[in-house]
């Protein structure tokens, strides 16, 4: 399928960060040492625009990897002026940036509005103060709530970023954070299960035996539950798992549930849970001797089947008394027939 959205990303590693969060090393995760200068930005945007396919309908310039609104105001203006120029000429359709909750207030948002910023990604991470404190975030849940209210009042698109598995976090707290995030009605969320990156506070805690990361299985299962909560509330989950921006990101990871296809694993688990629930219900209604046929949506067949058809093997094992057949069909949702 051709891409319809393109993001032109710029990384400003740790610029504007007055705190070093315990899990963060943007130099490693973004594979960038230095922020771009004005020429770098223009050259990269021009290159992207020259190569963009006709199927693309929405292009955004995005500033990630630091706390954009914590930058010196003159530097913010320099970056935004370039992006705004492309936006005003209708060569791009959006300007996006990521920042921290305690770097949001009305004057800051008015500046962003002046330069036609469309989307703000907020590093919320958790809606629990003890988790924020243990992660050295340097802000509170109240700061987050105030920032979100301001962003929404001023009419920006809001993306909430959450990080299950931080120090002091539990599955219950992560699930609660997902429910709270839903109530705040963001335009989308990103879920980044915590990874132990080298040369971070978390790597020291891990080495000293004071932090145990989630296993991949735990992270997939928990993120699938969070994904389900957002999906049921019609909130798009635009990313799950760390983006492998670095060529060899695995060399910068000390421990934790990193997988290059983490999002696929989570969606596949979500689909497996859905099929399992359908089968539980069907077996409860019809008994085990009935034959079942399940039509799987062709568009999402890979997620429903699972990696190496693991989901089918899992369900076969769970419902070993039942005869279940799977077919791929042009349906939007799986359909179960009891014969």
Q: Which residues of this chain interact with ligand SF4, rule CB under 6 A?
A: 14, 17, 20-21, 24, 26, 66-67, 100, 123
As measured in angstroms, the least distance from the Cβ of 189 to ligand SF4 is 16
C-alpha span between 112 and 105 (Å, rounded)? 11
Residue with Cβ nearer ligand SF4 (35 or 66):
66
Give which of 22, 23, 109, 120 is closest to 63, Cα–Cα: 120
Give which of 168, 171, 69 is closest to 121, Cα–Cα: 69
Residue with Cβ nearer ligand SF4 (102 or 295):
102
As measured in angstroms, the least distance from the Cβ of 91 to ligand SF4 is 28
3-class SS of residue 292: strand
CA 301 to chain centre: 22
C-alpha span between 295 and 229 (Å, rounded)? 24
- Name the residue with tokens 């987050």: 144
Alpha-carbon distance values, 122 to 126, 312, 314, 318 (Å): 11, 38, 37, 41
Residue with Cβ nearer ligand SF4 (197 or 224):
197
Residue with Cβ nearer ligand SF4 (32 or 322):
32
C-alpha span between 232 and 229 (Å, rounded)? 5
The β-bridge partners of 293 are 325, 337
Q: Hey, what long-range contacts does 105-108 have (CB within 8 A, 24 or more apart)?
A: 105/150, 106/150, 106/154, 108/69
Share in percent of the chain as helix, strand, coil (round to 5): 45, 20, 35
As measured in angstroms, the least distance from the Cβ of 28 to ligand SF4 is 11
As measured in angstroms, the least distance from the Cβ of 24 to ligand SF4 is 3
As measured in angstroms, the least distance from the Cβ of 273 to ligand SF4 is 30
Residue with Cβ nearer ligand SF4 (202 or 279):
202
3-class SS of residue 39: helix
Residue with Cβ nearer ligand SF4 (14 or 190):
14
As measured in angstroms, the least distance from the Cβ of 18 to ligand SF4 is 8
Report whether 166 contacts 125 (CB < 8 A): yes
As measured in angstroms, the least distance from the Cβ of 15 to ligand SF4 is 9
As measured in angstroms, the least distance from the Cβ of 9 to ligand SF4 is 14
Report whether 268 contacts 307 (CB < 8 A): yes
Residue with Cβ nearer ligand SF4 (84 or 139):
139
C-alpha span between 114 and 112 (Å, rounded)? 5
- Name the residue with tokens 């359709």: 93
Residue with Cβ nearer ligand SF4 (26 or 311):
26
Report whether 118 contacts 157 (CB < 8 A): yes
Residue with Cβ nearer ligand SF4 (162 or 279):
162
As measured in angstroms, the least distance from the Cβ of 100 to ligand SF4 is 5
């Amino acid at each position: 399928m051709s891409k319809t959205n393109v993001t032109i990303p710029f990384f400003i590693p740790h610029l504007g960060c007055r705190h070093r969060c315990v899990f963060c090393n943007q130099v490693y995760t973004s594979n960038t040492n230095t922020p771009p200068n004005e020429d770098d930005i223009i050259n990269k945007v021009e290159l992207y625009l020259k190569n963009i396919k006709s199927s693309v309908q929405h292009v955004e310039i995005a500033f990630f990897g630091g706390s954009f609104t914590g930058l010196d105001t003159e530097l913010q203006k320099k970056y935004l002026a370039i992006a705004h120029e492309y936006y005003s000429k209708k060569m791009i359709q959006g300007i996006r940036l990521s920042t921290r909750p305690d770097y949001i207030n009305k004057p800051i948002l008015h500046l962003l509005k002046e330069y036609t910023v469309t989307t703000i990604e907020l590093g919320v991470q958790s809606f629990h103060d003890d988790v924020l404190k243990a992660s050295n975030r340097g802000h509170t849940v109240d700061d987050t709530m105030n920032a979100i209210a301001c962003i929404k009042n001023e009419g920006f698109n809001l993306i909430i970023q959450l990080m299950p598995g931080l120090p002091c976090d539990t599955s219950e707290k992560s699930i609660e954070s997902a429910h709270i995030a839903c109530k705040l009605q963001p335009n989308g969320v990103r879920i980044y299960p915590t990874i132990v990156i080298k040369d971070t506070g978390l790597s020291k805690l891990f080495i000293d035996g004071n932090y145990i990361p989630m296993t991949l299985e735990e992270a997939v299962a928990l993120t699938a539950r969070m994904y389900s909560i957002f999906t049921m509330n019609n909130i798009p989950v635009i990313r799950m798992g760390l983006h492998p921006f670095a060529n060899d990101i695995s060399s910068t990871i000390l421990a934790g549930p990193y997988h290059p296809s983490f999002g696929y694993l989570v969606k596949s688990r979500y689909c497996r849970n859905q099929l399992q629930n359908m089968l539980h219900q069907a077996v409860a209604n019809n008994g085990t001797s009935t034959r079942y046929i399940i039509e799987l949506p062709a568009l999402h067949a890979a997620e429903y089947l699972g990696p190496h058809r693991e989901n089918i093997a899992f369900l076969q094992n769970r419902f070993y008394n039942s005869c279940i057949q799977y077919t791929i069909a042009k349906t939007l949702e799986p359909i179960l027939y009891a014969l």
